[in-house]
Amino acid sequence: MNETPRIAIVGGGPGGLLAAHVLHGHGIAATVYDADTAVDSRDPGGTLDLHADSGQIALEDAGLLPAFRALARAEGQAMTRRDHHGTLLKEFIPADDDTAAPEIDRGQLRTMLYERLAPSTVHWGHKLTGLTTENGVHRLHFANGSTVDADLVLGADGAWSKVRRRLTDAMPEYLGVSFLDVRFDDVETRHPEIAALTGNGQLFTTDGAGRAVIVQRNSNGVIRGYVAFRAEEDWAARESVDLTDRASVREFLLREFRGWGEAVRPLLTDNDGDYVARAFTALPAPLTWKRVPGITVLGDAAHAMAPFGGHGANLALLDGAELAHALHEEPSVEAALTRYETAMFARTGHLAADANAALRGFFADQPDGTPQDVPDREEELRAYEAQAAEYRAARTPAAR
């Protein structure tokens, strides 16, 4: 790039932080602004698997793959499939040296990315409230009253991105399925039955009638996940459920999941801490927009999708790396953004559409009452490895 633009990255999640890493590796300055007051100021959520063909490629580009592998859990790739009575239907146990998609806690990943940036890179406590443009200069307005001028704004600010509003009117849509975050602590001692049901990785269980429990091992003896069900978006009000009262929520769940067996009932009722109500939402897919000078988005801000396939964080990381490479390799900012968006649209559009369709299919009523199956885990992992080799081979040869 023949220019030296002032680059503002809005959002200090995995995608934004990874973009900063790769930009800095190319000698390009960039500053990250995030609404959180600190890297660990809020619950970051559960665990995620980083795929060999996306997230791990991005970490390798940033020089962070060894740091990731020091924290990652290969055993977390395991998958257990049970019916709603607890009967084992399918099980996959990975080899000890399988690195196709190891698990890492979201908080661990974010902290790892943040702590390896220069101390002045991330400005916490900067919640974006507006973005204006005058004479080609973008002014970021923050809730703390400060403003920052930038020549290039990279929006890594999530599904409800304010930066994206400068590119498209598209907004996330409710997919018809709501869920409750659940957490189980010190599981081997306090919840041995849940530990046994889950195994070392992820547990999928569904009744084939729009209800499911999907939980995953995290580090430090924790299992997290969600109890999910088809519902109107305002289901709690319709059902007179007080979300701040665990007893009220548990009464609803026992009623909603009344056909579920005794073996799996602790997944519904024995969580530690409050239930946290959320909804599955996604942007229209595939989503594109016309090029807007000096502004683009990445990760969920560009292609928020259902979690089926585990693509969200992986694509955010790869978006950040590919955007940074384009800015380094192309002669101008606009050439770089055109290259990035063209490739990103092609890379993510079909994955987002497939993930959204998979979620709807998983929670649809099955005609014969047989629970909806999930992808074969072994096949998924081997596909990540094959696609990683193809992706590397297809990359534009350039000094990186």
HEC readout, 78-136: CEEEEECCCCEEEEECCCCCCCCCCEEEHHHHHHHHHHCCCCCCEECCCCEEEEEEECC
DSSP letter string over 219-271?
A: STT-EEEEEEEE--TTHHHHTT--TT-HHHHHHHHHHHTTTS-TTTTHHHH--
Q: For residues 176 and 232, give the distance between their C-alpha atoms in angstroms, rounded to a whole number.
A: 7
Query: Does the annotation list 300 as a binding residue?
Result: yes
Under a CB-based contact definition with an 8 Å cutoff, are residues 136 and 46 in contact?
A: no
Query: Does the annotation list 34 as a binding residue?
Result: no
What pLDDT shows up at residue 316? 98
What pLDDT shows up at residue 399? 40
Q: For residues 349 and 97, give the distance between their C-alpha atoms in angstroms, rounded to a whole number.
A: 32
What pLDDT shows up at residue 376? 87
What pLDDT shows up at residue 370? 67
Query: Does the annotation list 169 as a binding residue?
Result: no
What pLDDT shows up at residue 375? 78
- The pTM score is 0.95
Query: Does the annotation list 185 as a binding residue?
Result: no
Strands 223-230 and 211-217 come out as antiparallel
Structure tokens at 124: 């916490």
Residue 152 phi/psi, 5° resolution? -140, 125
At residue 131, what is the residue type? L
Q: Which residues of the chain have pLDDT under 50?
A: 398-400
DSSP state for residue 215 in the 8-state scheme:
E
Sign, CA dihedral 160-347-43-10, equals: negative
Strands (E), the chain: 7-10, 31-33, 47-49, 79-83, 88-92, 103-105, 122-123, 128-134, 137-142, 147-150, 152-155, 173-184, 202-206, 211-217, 223-230, 276-282, 295-297
What pLDDT shows up at residue 367? 76
